[in-house]
């Protein structure tokens, strides 16, 4: 997905690319996007015909690498009739270790394209 943040945010507002593998059982693996090397927890659920809600979370660390909270990104996506593309609205929530919101919620939008990876010689 190509993601664009909207509104005012202390974070960069340029585009970023997120690549994820979505499994049939409701799990999702975020392969790029978010902090490099940080574990990401992701899942999805159906929200109606051609609609899904994707949720990805990862820890936020301070300069000493201690967990100080986490980021939760929720994307409400609608798939095209072909199932090859989608459009989504996103929300970023920053939360401290006590579970309290930290800063304003940021919003964004995204366009996605389904990729097919084939095994075999390159």
Per-residue tokens: 24: 């049939």
Q: What is the pTM of this model?
A: 0.69
pLDDT tens readout for residues 98-108: 988 888 888 88
Q: Is residue 56 part of a domain?
A: yes
Q: Is residue 122 part of a domain?
A: no
Comparing C-alpha atoms, which of 1, 62, 67, 68 is closest to residue 28?
Answer: 1
Q: Is residue 118 part of a domain?
A: no
Beta strands in 1-122 (DSSP E): 2-6, 15-17, 19-22, 28-32, 40-46, 51-61, 67-79, 85-96, 106-113
Total domains, the chain: 1
More confident residue, 68 or 122: 68
pLDDT tens readout for residues 19-70: 666 677 766 666 666 555 565 677 888 898 989 888 888 888 888 988 888 8
């Amino acid at each position: 997905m190509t993601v664009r943040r909207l509104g005012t945010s202390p974070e960069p507002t340029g585009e970023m690319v997120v690549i994820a593998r979505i499994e049939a059982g409701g799990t999702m693996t975020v392969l790029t996007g978010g902090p490099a090397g940080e574990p990401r927890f992701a899942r999805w659920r159906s929200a109606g015909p051609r609609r899904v809600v994707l949720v990805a979370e990862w820890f936020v660390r301070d300069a000493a690498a201690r967990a100080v909270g986490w980021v939760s990104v929720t994307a409400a996506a609608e798939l095209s009739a072909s199932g090859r593309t989608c459009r989504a609205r996103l929300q970023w929530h920053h939360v401290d270790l006590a579970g309290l919101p930290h800063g304003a919620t940021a919003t964004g939008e995204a366009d996605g394209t389904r990729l097919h990876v084939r095994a075999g010689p390159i």
